[in-house]
Structure 1
Amino acid sequence: MFKVQCTSCRETHANHVGVNRFETNEMSGSRGEANFVWKCKNCKRESSASVKAGPFPYEQTEPAKPQKLLEFDCRGLEFTEFKAEGEWLAEGVETGTKFTGIDLEEGEWFEYDEKSNEEVSINDVKWEVRRS
């Protein structure tokens, strides 16, 4: 889920909005389709965003470093904040164990990997939205 801001008048949508890479929405005036279409309530301009690349898997590194997960083509809007809603997937680095239904809303997740007989975790998660 994202916070979205109009690049014309800088109005920010009151709620986080979802973008689904598997869905397309018609843009007015037969201008094509996009994964997300939004009409700013303040200036009435229609803006759009489409998933350009990704999702990319996060590869564990020591020390941990920022990595690109998604890339958007945004027209008339920008995403300013990300909130991790929904379920995520992970794979044990050493065992290949698949973990599903991961909730990262609190920025951390803990589980037990039976193949390695060890606790596994995702923690200190920080999300950053950057312009390229």
Structure 2
Amino acid sequence: MLSLTLTADLVGVNELQPNDTPENPFWYTFKVQCTSCREIHPNPVSVSRFEANDMSGSRGEANFVWKCKSCKRESSATIKSPPVPYQQSSPPTRQKILEFDCRGLEFTEFSPEGEWLATGTESGSKFAGIDLTEGEWFDYDEKAGEEVSIKDLKWEIRRN
């Protein structure tokens, strides 16, 4: 099992999470490595927890099925549960966002491409369409009358 963890400095917002619903699935983007031959796929891959792919020679399904070009082995990954919202803390702490069951592959690097959501800490204002690809985000909470931000993002993929 692997976990995607995040450490971030949230100011004025809480409950940072990907916008991930059956109607609007979030595509988690990773670099992937074969655990057999250690080859790293040259292109990032995207995984949705709402997509099911058949695995060869099996009745099973996985969210992501991949065949390594080097050693020809088929590998799979399944997202175990919905994403867990990141909670604001001071100082920022590492928190698990997502958990994967990986067979024959490892995700080595995460890219936060896609739409993220957050909630104003004091006001309860909903922030949607947050783009974290630049590593930080700034906005203004009209209800609270203050600037809000997300910065110092550190993504890690860890073994459970």
TM-score by length of 1: 0.98
Take 1:16 and 1:93, find their aligned partners in 2: how far apart are those partners?
34
Secondary structure of 2:159's partner?
Answer: coil
Secondary structure of 1:129's partner?
Answer: strand
- Mark the runs of 5 or more structure 1 residues left unpaired by the alignment: none
Q: List per-residue Cα deviations over 1:39-73 (Å, max 9, x = no partner).
A: 00000000000001330000000000110000000
Give 1:53's aligned amino acid: S
CA-CA distance at 1:28 after TM superposition: 0.6
Q: What is residue 139 of structure 2 aligned with on the other side? A: 111
Of the three residues 111, 114, 125, the one matched with 1:83 is 111
- Structure 1 residue 120 corresponds to structure 2 residue 148: yes
Of the three residues 69, 73, 77, the one matched with 1:45 is 73
- Structure 1 residue 20 corresponds to structure 2 residue 25: no
User: How much identity, in percent, do the aligned residues show?
Assistant: 73
- Structure 1 residue 2 corresponds to structure 2 residue 30: yes
Q: What is residue 72 of structure 1 aligned with on the other side? A: 100
- Mark the runs of 5 or more structure 2 residues left unpaired by the alignment: 1-28
Take 1:16 and 1:131, find their aligned partners in 2: how far apart are those partners?
20
Q: Which has the higher strand share?
A: 2
- Structure 1 residue 100 corresponds to structure 2 residue 128: yes
Q: List per-residue Cα deviations over 1:18-57 (Å, max 9, x = no partner).
A: 1100111011113410000000000000000000133000
Q: List per-residue Cα deviations over 1:96-117 (Å, max 9, x = no partner).
A: 1100000000110000000011
Count of matched residue positions in the alignment of Structure 1 and Structure 2: 132
Take 1:93 and 1:42, find their aligned partners in 2: how far apart are those partners?
48
Q: What is residue 63 of structure 2 aligned with on the other side? A: 35
- Structure 1 residue 55 corresponds to structure 2 residue 94: no
Take 1:8 and 1:79, find their aligned partners in 2: how far apart are those partners?
14
Moved over 4 A (4+): none
Q: What is residue 11 of structure 1 aligned with on the other side? A: 39
Higher relative contact order (CA 8 A, sep 6+): 2
TM-score by length of 2: 0.81
